[in-house]
Chain A
Amino acid sequence: MSIATIFEIVLAAVVLGLGIWTIVVRETYSATVGFVAYGLLVALIWVRLDAIDVALTEAAIGGGLGGVLLLGAAAQLRDSEPAVTDAAGNAVRVCAAILSALTAATLAGAVLVLPDPAPTLAPAAVSNAWATSLANPVTNVLMAFRAMDTMLEKVVLLLAIIGVWSLAPDSAWGGHPGPRHQADPHGVLVFLARLLPPIGIVVGIYVLWTGANHPGGAFQGGAILAAMWLLAIMAGLADTPPVSSRRLRLILVAGPGLFLVVGIAGLLFGSAFLSYPPAQAKPLILAIEVAMILTIAATLGLLLAGAPERRTGQ
């Protein structure tokens, strides 16, 4: 047994242990902390699986922003905890345990009898890379070969933000999402929020730019930019824009909008919906990615801020 395999077994065991902890621990807050640690270690598993693009996404969005979201909610709901008494009965527990064990066993069996050699689309993705002149095959799949998925996913982001906003009480509609944060102006949080965002902006734009040829892209870069924005908001140095702001709405639809325009142009002048002419593929994809990173950063940040709570001008 090699050292690598021992490391992998230990990693898998720790991840599973954290998974069990998040399910069985009594306090919801502890469960969320466990889930954040779980997400970061799962990112390590993705590194071991040689999927660096996914590892970056998982660490930034799954572990990082998702963790902030869950921790914030758990902190707000902390007081409601003792009121909950209607835990599942023993019969339900036993049935759920049997069902879950069966599901897990079936999946484990499926993993063990996967065909050898495994089917793969990697050669097809690599041999068609000339069509876009991007060297990162994952970006090629995201932006060209399965561009439809990526475009629809932007629409899902939009729908989610509309859903969150529509939960606002009538009196707050059109106002700023989330509470106005106020921190000690001489405190350390404000200090960090003054120092870090410029560095994060350089790193975020670099991650977007390098995504053409190396692991990275609009999702990972957008998550970094969103995190910097949120840091400034939490330190009280910036405020969320009111949801009635036209500029904000323009940014939110920029990504999917440009994607759609390019797609329809492909339908009219090219061979199919979302087909890029190979000569212009790279600049077109870059333009879409720039629009997308703005949309992604704004949407992720606003999803974390939550529903509008305050009227404009209050």
Chain B
Amino acid sequence: MSLLGDIITIVAVSAGAFFFLAGTVGLLRFPDTLTRLHALTKADNLGLGLVVLGLLPQAASLRDGFKLVSIWLLGLLAGATVSQLIARAARQGESAR
């Protein structure tokens, strides 16, 4: 059981780290603010979700697991709303130019 848990942790956290890395590469390579937002929101949300998923088998109790999931949900809410605010500002800045 604990071996299976450890395998899940290693695979999921590594995958999460990979998506964070890909998101950061996108942030550096993509040409403008709006395309960079895609890289950040999509890849980082999936990355955070995978890290949380990977940590779930290591949680000491059910409550700790719920805590981890609520961190992911709050991260999602923050990412999704703030990205829209930035996107709106970026679009208005673009059309003003």
Contact = CB atoms under 8 A, between A and B. Distances in A.
Task: Please determine if A and B sit in direct contact within the complex, based on CB atoms under 8 angstroms apart.
Answer: yes
A179 to B, nearest CB: 18
B77 interface: yes
Nearest to A183: B85
Contact of B77 (A187, A189, A196): A196
Nearest to B84: A188
Interface in A89-135: none
Interface of B: 74, 77, 81, 84-85, 88
A279 interface: no
A196 B88 CA distance: 20
Nearest to A200: B74
A195 B85 CA distance: 16
In order of increasing CB-CB distance, the 9 nearest A-B pairs are: A188-B84, A192-B81, A188-B81, A188-B85, A189-B85, A191-B81, A195-B77, A196-B77, A192-B77
A31 to B, nearest CB: 20
13 contacts: A187-B88, A188-B81, A188-B84, A188-B85, A188-B88, A189-B81, A189-B85, A191-B81, A192-B77, A192-B81, A195-B77, A196-B77, A199-B74
Nearest to A188: B84
A187 B84 CA distance: 9
A198 to B, nearest CB: 13
A25 B88 CA distance: 27
A189 B82 CA distance: 8
A199 B81 CA distance: 16
A76 B70 CA distance: 36
A57 B65 CA distance: 25
Contacts of A199: 74
Contacts of B84: 188
A9 B81 CA distance: 34
A204 to B, nearest CB: 14
A85 B77 CA distance: 43
Contacts of B77: 192, 195-196
A191 B77 CA distance: 11
Contacts of B88: 187-188
- With a 10 A CB-CB cut-off, give which of B74, B81, B88 has the most chain A CB atoms: B81
Contacts of B85: 188-189
B40 to A, nearest CB: 15
Interface string A193-223: 0011001000000000000000000000000
B34 to A, nearest CB: 15
Given A187-B88, A188-B85, A191-B81, 4 more contacts: A188-B88, A189-B81, A192-B77, A195-B77
A191 B85 CA distance: 11
A25 to B, nearest CB: 19
A207 B87 CA distance: 33
A187 B87 CA distance: 12
Contacts of A189: 81, 85
Nearest to A195: B77
Interface string A165-201: 0000000000000000000000111011001100100
A104 B77 CA distance: 42
B23 to A, nearest CB: 17
Contacts of A195: 77
